[in-house]
Chain A
Amino acid sequence: MDVLVTAKLEINLEQRTVSHNQQVLPIKGLTFDMLLALVEARNHIVSLEELSLQVWKGKVVSDDTIAQRISLLRKALPNDSENYIESVRSEGYRWLPAIKKQQTEDEPKRKSPLTMFAIGAMAVFSILFMLWFSAYKPQPEAIPTVQKPIEHGLDISVYTRVKLARAQQYASAPTAEANRIAIKMYRDLYADNQDDILVAFGLARVLIDNVAQFDGDRTVLPEVEAISRELLLQQPTEPRFLWLRGYYFEVIGELPTAIDHFESAAQLDSADASVSLSLASLYVEKGRLFDAMSLYLRQLSDNQRYPLASIGYIFHLTEQPELAREWYAAAVQLNPDNDAARIRFAQFLITQNEHQQALDTLLELHRLTGGTVDSHLTTLSAALLLNEQSIVTDSLQQALQLSPNDFNALAWRAWLDYQAGEPIKTALDRIPLSEQSHPELYVAKSILALAHEDIETALVMLSRAQRLGYMDYRYIEQLMPFEQLADNRLFRELLLMMQARQATQRERIDLLTIPTLSGD
């Protein structure tokens, strides 16, 4: 087995892996070939022609593509190694550290002069090839791939193109049924086109949409993890892949990591609406309302639908109820079956003591779409305040049916069981939360603690929620389980802290120019 050792890196030629201090580095595929081409040149300059020949197997690639791959390689190497690769202007690249060869078996497989001869021969060939190519083809951008025609005399790529377009169209349609069909389409495409990054990206996106928006099966998440990691490895600076990876982290509940990815994506492409919207909604969860509002305002012109409710939510959180009501109403009117908008609107109505209206708007949503776990649980909170016992029971059942392990649903069931004097089925440590988790989950855990009559833990959880960015103190105040804490000094203090946080954000938001809705 051949191993090249250079600057603490061990390059295993057989397994095609690179390790550093016993740890395997994320250097694979083209990036690995690039490293190998540089290292095998024994500290000589490797020209761009040689690189395109060795790494891209003779395919004609632009200088930029090579530079990009070099940059990927530099990023994938350990932190202290940025000076390992020297760029020699208009010549090529050179690997600087000394190179040793190790062999675990004694038969010498490769001889360096031979390798050099091979590289030399390939270089000569490549120059001849380039000359021939430029002489006969004025635009040598892509080598046409020869594909066998199939029935009807069409190239298979036409079928793939139309199928991919269909999958993308179904993926963008906002219903669970369309999502289900899109998953099937992408699965079929993926079976034949594993290497097509658009197909892989699309499949991961619809799978994760299914979990995030339609309470789908979470067992697909490892697959999404694998695809999103691989895509990002291939193209670390592609905003869509950063977004996809961030979306994955959001869904598994690692918010700061998700925000990091979204922020990198937004830096690379500030015009991408899905990046801005994803980032803004996480900013809201973390209590960064000003940052969120700035992003939403940028999106308003081209994407009318989604940000309306989100802007309403920011007004709701910064105690501007008239504006909040106006924006929420517009959102619901424009898109009556958007559950996120309805849920926020209902929560807002609850904070305004309009419990019946809150219940009505949710019931209307359920008539239109059947609802989600969150919409049923918000219905439950409203029905509790109105003492509508049958709706309470029914909502809980619906929520648990949609997602039997939803943490919010389990917390509410525990609390209702506690009220009814029944044994509590969910232990307090059922779901471990971390600093990365959604702040709203801490509110749920606080409710679970109250069901266990553990007021101290309930307050600790609420304070974590507050610290991680939760600030809807008016909603907490209204929620039935927290009623018993109304006179608790610590509880009141926590609410005041949320209120203070709102005020700080409000001051900054007041500096922004927000368009009025009534104008149109």
Chain B
Amino acid sequence: MKKNSIIAALFVATAGLLLSPLSGANQDRVVLQTDVIETLLVPETADALSWQRVFPEQLSMPRGAVRAGAKGCAIFSFNINSDGEPTNITTEKVVPSFGLRRHAKNYLESWRFEPKSEDGGIEESVLLRLDFCTGGATQEEATAICEYQATLPCSK
């Protein structure tokens, strides 16, 4: 009986020792980290555009894409029309070829631009790459992963 209690005490102590490093993690919840990165391909820099984006100010994963668990990259060509709206959106590349396309396109359709100068913007074509990423323990990690992804070819 006494022997048993000693063993039990030892077991609890060992278990406590083993578990102690994880005791902090028990308070965290599983959070899905996401990030979206845009890479302008044509023109090469946003300076060359006669427009600036006013919506959204910061890119973020569209809700639909989060729910669908969609991630990957997409390259679109589109026109910014005289009202500052993206039109004629053409999917040049999307990986994976299922799931992401619709969410990415809807997201792009919601963007709005305003002319940089008072004289108004010039209707212009743009080639743009978007990377949709999930994963990473922290936001910094998610961004780092996404930045890396954005340097890879957007192809299978």
- Chain A bound to chain B: yes
B residues 48-86 near A (Cβ < 8 Å) are: 75, 77, 79
Chain A residues with CB under 8 A of B101: none
What's the Cα separation between A170 and B39 when bound, in Å?
Answer: 22
Most chain B CB neighbours (cut-off 10 Å) among A152, A169, A170 = A152
**A153/B127 in contact, CB under 8 A:** no
What's the Cα separation between A390 and B40 when bound, in Å?
Answer: 51
**A166/B154 in contact, CB under 8 A:** no
A-B contacts counted at CB < 8 A amount to 50
What's the Cα separation between A152 and B125 when bound, in Å?
Answer: 18
**A162/B75 in contact, CB under 8 A:** no
What's the Cα separation between A153 and B41 when bound, in Å?
Answer: 12
Chain A residues with CB under 8 A of B75: 152, 154, 158
- In the complex, which of the residues A152, A159, A161, A162 contacts B153, with contact meaning CB atoms closer than 8 Å? A152
**B153/A149 in contact, CB under 8 A:** yes
Bitwise, A289-319 to B at CB < 8 A (1) or not (0) is 0000000000000000000000000000000
**B123/A162 in contact, CB under 8 A:** no
A165 interface residue per 8 A CB criterion: yes
**Smallest CB–CB gap between B39 and chain A, Å?**
8
Bitwise, A132-174 to B at CB < 8 A (1) or not (0) is 0000000000000000010111100011011101100110010
Bitwise, B121-156 to A at CB < 8 A (1) or not (0) is 011111101000000000000000000000001110
A485 interface residue per 8 A CB criterion: no
**A153/B155 in contact, CB under 8 A:** yes
> Which residue of chain B is the closest to A155 with respect to CB atoms?
B92
> Which residue of chain B is the closest to A182 with respect to CB atoms?
B122
- In the complex, which of the residues B119, B123, B153, B155 contacts A169, with contact meaning CB atoms closer than 8 Å? B123
A457 interface residue per 8 A CB criterion: no
A178 interface residue per 8 A CB criterion: yes
**Smallest CB–CB gap between A168 and chain B, Å?**
9
A175 interface residue per 8 A CB criterion: yes
A158-B125 contact, Cβ under 8 Å, with A149-B155, A152-B41, A152-B153: no
**A151/B123 in contact, CB under 8 A:** no
B93 interface residue per 8 A CB criterion: yes
Tell me whether chain B's interface is mostly helix, strand or loop, or mixed.
strand
A162-B119 contact, Cβ under 8 Å, with A152-B75, A154-B93: no
Chain B residues with CB under 8 A of A161: 77
**Smallest CB–CB gap between B53 and chain A, Å?**
17
**B126/A162 in contact, CB under 8 A:** yes
What's the Cα separation between A130 and B126 when bound, in Å?
Answer: 40
Chain B residues with CB under 8 A of A173: 122
B43 interface residue per 8 A CB criterion: yes
Q: Give the size range of A's interface with the partner.
A: 10 to 19
**Smallest CB–CB gap between A23 and chain B, Å?**
46
Chain B residues with CB under 8 A of A165: 79, 125
Chain A residues with CB under 8 A of B119: 175
**A162/B42 in contact, CB under 8 A:** yes
A159-B129 contact, Cβ under 8 Å, with A169-B123, A169-B124: no
**Smallest CB–CB gap between B116 and chain A, Å?**
12
- In the complex, which of the residues A153, A166, A175 contacts B125, with contact meaning CB atoms closer than 8 Å? A166
Chain A residues with CB under 8 A of B125: 162, 165-166, 169
> Which residue of chain A is the closest to B88 with respect to CB atoms?
A165
A154-B124 contact, Cβ under 8 Å, with A149-B153, A162-B77, A175-B119: no
What's the Cα separation between A429 and B92 when bound, in Å?
Answer: 60
Most chain B CB neighbours (cut-off 10 Å) among A163, A166, A175, A178 = A166
Chain B residues with CB under 8 A of A166: 42-43, 124-125
What's the Cα separation between A169 and B79 when bound, in Å?
Answer: 10
What's the Cα separation between A173 and B119 when bound, in Å?
Answer: 11
> Which residue of chain A is the closest to B119 with respect to CB atoms?
A175
What's the Cα separation between A152 and B151 when bound, in Å?
Answer: 7
**A159/B42 in contact, CB under 8 A:** yes
> Which residue of chain A is the closest to B117 with respect to CB atoms?
A177
Chain A residues with CB under 8 A of B77: 158, 161-162
**B123/A154 in contact, CB under 8 A:** no
**A159/B93 in contact, CB under 8 A:** no
B residues 85-134 near A (Cβ < 8 Å) are: 92-93, 119, 122-127, 129
Identify 27 residue pairs between A and B in the complex whose beta-carbon atoms are under 8 Å apart, listed by A's number. A149-B155, A152-B129, A152-B154, A153-B153, A153-B154, A154-B75, A154-B92, A158-B75, A158-B77, A158-B92, A159-B41, A159-B42, A159-B127, A162-B42, A162-B77, A162-B125, A162-B126, A165-B125, A166-B42, A166-B43, A166-B125, A169-B122, A169-B124, A169-B125, A170-B124, A173-B122, A178-B122
The 9 A-B pairs at the shortest CB distance, nearest first, are namely A153-B155, A153-B153, A165-B125, A162-B127, A162-B42, A173-B122, A153-B154, A169-B124, A166-B125
Q: Which B residues lie at the A interface, using CB under 8 A?
A: 39, 41-43, 75, 77, 79, 92-93, 119, 122-127, 129, 153-155
Known: A153-B154, A169-B122. 14 other contacts (CB 8 A): A152-B41, A152-B75, A154-B75, A158-B127, A159-B41, A159-B42, A162-B77, A162-B126, A162-B127, A163-B42, A166-B42, A166-B125, A169-B123, A169-B125
